[in-house]
Amino acid sequence: MNHLGTEQQDIKLSAWKVKRLSIMAIFIALSAVGALIKIPSPVGTIGMDSAPGFFCALAFGGLTGAIVIAFGHLLTAAVIGFPMTIPIHLYIALQMAIWAVTYRWVNEKLGLIPAVIVAIILNGVVSAFAMLPIMGMGGVLGLMPFLVVGAALNVIISAVAYKAIKGSRLI
């Protein structure tokens, strides 16, 4: 009897892992499509790749969103040949993962509107400072408006999509 219960629990856990991996694969594919939609900027890596990751953070958890958004950024950078070097893009991917987890956390603690505002500030303003060592303060300030627009589009799309299906059986 006890062995049977453990086996059923293992099957449920295995099915959950497959479902989670499938969700991540689908949203990483959506990030790849979004990576092809560019927002003109001095660096060329601002795209519509992070909306799926931000959505996943809200809908499926911070870790899932972090993984999807990090891969989304790396796909966007890969499409144009990692213009700021692979280590810098790995750093940006890590930063994006942290922003996705923060987005989820702020949504849980304060609500969706504050989460949207925080995510836009983190992704649009704070992320610009990642370029400080490469481009100096002039580069940061020149890049920031493009990042804010890109962040706003991605975050707002994720929030609208989440609000539209929140409470449904889809999530």
Q: Are 66 and 56 in contact (CB under 8 A)?
A: no
pLDDT at 78 over 60: yes
Instruction: Give the up-direction half-sphere exposure of residue 96: CA atoms within 13 A in the CB hemisphere.
Output: 33
Give me the residues paired with residue 38 across strands: 47
Task: Give, as one character, the DSSP assignment of residue 167.
Answer: T
Domain 2-165 class, CATH top level: mainly alpha
Per-residue model confidence (pLDDT) at position 86: 92
pLDDT at 138 over 80: yes
Q: What are phi and psi of 111, to 5 degrees?
A: 115, 175
Quick one: CA dihedral 99, 101, 53, 121, positive or negative? negative
Cα diameter, the chain? 69
Per-residue model confidence (pLDDT) at position 122: 98
Closest by CA to 54, choosing from 67, 44, 45, is: 67
Per-residue model confidence (pLDDT) at position 84: 83
Distance CA 43, CA 96 (A): 16
6: Cβ contacts below 8 Å, ≥ 6 apart: none
**Range of weakest confidence among 32-46, 72-86, 135-149:** 32-46
> What are the extents of the domains in the chain?
2-165
pTM of the model: 0.87
In tens, the pLDDT along 10-33 reads 666 676 688 889 999 999 999 999
